[in-house]
């Protein structure tokens, strides 16, 4: 029996979905959405807040401020509510309506930037707004998930050891790429443990995290419009990129099997299955990290009109996933 007094104290650590019967390739999906925040971002949020409290940056009367496309904002809203902090989340128009409403119900203030000012796209506009807030009020504490070392440390201390305990013979680990907190925490852990685990980063087409040309990205979560400051590519063996249309196909295919996952999970699954198809001759123990669940995407990924308007009718015509794209020249990194 689990008994808790604060919402951030609970997270399901050992739930995996075996996807072989669904996609025809052996892949264990680590489900990180079963907590009160509904995503893996609870781990990073809790560690960043705790770290700021330990070093005295965050104290009574502080105003938490963060830029988020959604899931971290919900996690911080929940923690702020439980600890009595005021929290302002700065997001953009891609943030799902359900996510915004959840933050507000939890007592947070949500500011949606109006456009893609400057060269940094939505992210640049969000960061500019946060900087202006902090400059205008010394009570503001910006955790900065993009540069905060506690972001990756959260996964070094939790996610990676959880996987290592469950899969002592792990060969390959697939991790979605956003701030790269999860990616770097897991990769560093396995490297430090001397475990020969192949680390495959899964990114969105249009993201510039690993270089390349920027492009339209409408599904929040993974991908970056700048190089992630936390990223150290020496820890990454390979990178694959996934089209958003394939993210949608993966999500909808899983839903028809009874598993309702979010956009970040759809991207990771699509990239993982494509990679495994290219390595079908190898006998591999493979795990992919599923960051989120699907309820917050009912009015986007799972809404036919939204999908057709943005991606065309063909996206809904087939469940077939396109092969995952290797980043750059396609060689291992």
Residue pLDDT, tens place only, 280-310: 999 999 999 999 999 999 999 999 999 999 9
Choose among 172, 157, 176, 202: nearest CA to 284. 172
Asked if residue 230 has pLDDT above 50, the reply is yes
7-35+154-326 belongs to which CATH class? alpha beta
For CATH 3.40.50.1100, list the domain ranges present in the chain: 7-35+154-326, 41-142
pLDDT value of position 143: 96
Choose among 190, 183, 297: nearest CA to 248. 297
User: To which residue do tokens 């504490």 refer?
Assistant: 141
CA distance 272 to 284: 12
pLDDT digits (tens, 9 = 90+) for 262-279: 999 999 999 999 999 999
Q: Which pair of structure tokens corresponds to residue 152?
A: 């990756």
pLDDT value of position 114: 78
Contact 245, 279 (CB under 8 A): no
* Alpha-carbon Rg for the chain in angstroms: 19
Strand order in 109-112's β-sheet?
109-112, 86-91, 63-67, 140-142
pTM of the model: 0.93
pLDDT digits (tens, 9 = 90+) for 42-86: 999 999 999 999 999 999 999 999 999 899 999 999 999 999 999
CATH architecture of the domain with residue range 41-142: 3-Layer(aba) Sandwich (3.40)
């Amino acid at each position: 029996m689990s008994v808790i007094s604060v919402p951030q104290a609970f997270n399901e650590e050992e739930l995996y979905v075996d996807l072989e019967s669904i996609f025809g390739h052996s892949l264990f999906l680590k489900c990180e959405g079963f907590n009160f925040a509904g995503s893996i971002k609870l781990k990073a949020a809790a560690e960043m807040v705790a770290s700021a409290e330990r070093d005295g940056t965050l104290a009574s009367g502080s105003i938490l401020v963060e830029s988020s496309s959604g899931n971290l904002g919900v996690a911080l809203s929940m923690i702020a509510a439980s600890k009595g902090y005021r929290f302002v989340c700065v997001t953009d128009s891609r943030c799902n309506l359900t996510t915004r409403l959840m933050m507000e119900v939890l007592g947070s203030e949500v500011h949606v930037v109006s456009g893609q000012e400057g060269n940094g796209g939505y992210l640049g506009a969000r960061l500019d707004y946060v900087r202006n807030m902090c400059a205008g009020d010394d009570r503001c504490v910006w955790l900065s998930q993009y540069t905060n070392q506690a972001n990756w440390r959260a996964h070094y201390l939790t996610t990676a050891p959880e996987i290592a305990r469950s899969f002592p013979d792990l060969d390959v680990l697939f991790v979605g790429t956003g701030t790269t907190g999860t990616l770097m925490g897991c990769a560093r852990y396995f490297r430090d443990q001397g475990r020969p685990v192949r680390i495959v980063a899964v990114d969105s087409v249009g993201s510039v995290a690993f270089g390349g040309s920027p492009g339209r990205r409408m599904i929040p979560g993974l991908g970056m419009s700048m190089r992630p400051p936390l990223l150290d590519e020496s820890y990454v063996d390979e990178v694959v990129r996934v089209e958003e249309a394939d993210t949608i196909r993966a999500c909808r295919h899983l839903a028809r099997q009874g598993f309702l996952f979010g956009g970040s999970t759809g991207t990771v699954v699509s990239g993982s299955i494509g990679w495994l198809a290219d390595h079908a001759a190898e006998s591999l123990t493979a795990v992919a990290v599923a960051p989120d669940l699907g309820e917050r995407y009912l009015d986007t990924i799972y809404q036919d009109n939204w999908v057709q308007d943005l991606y065309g009718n063909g996206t809904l015509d087939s469940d077939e996933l396109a092969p995952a794209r290797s980043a750059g020249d396609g060689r291992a990194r």
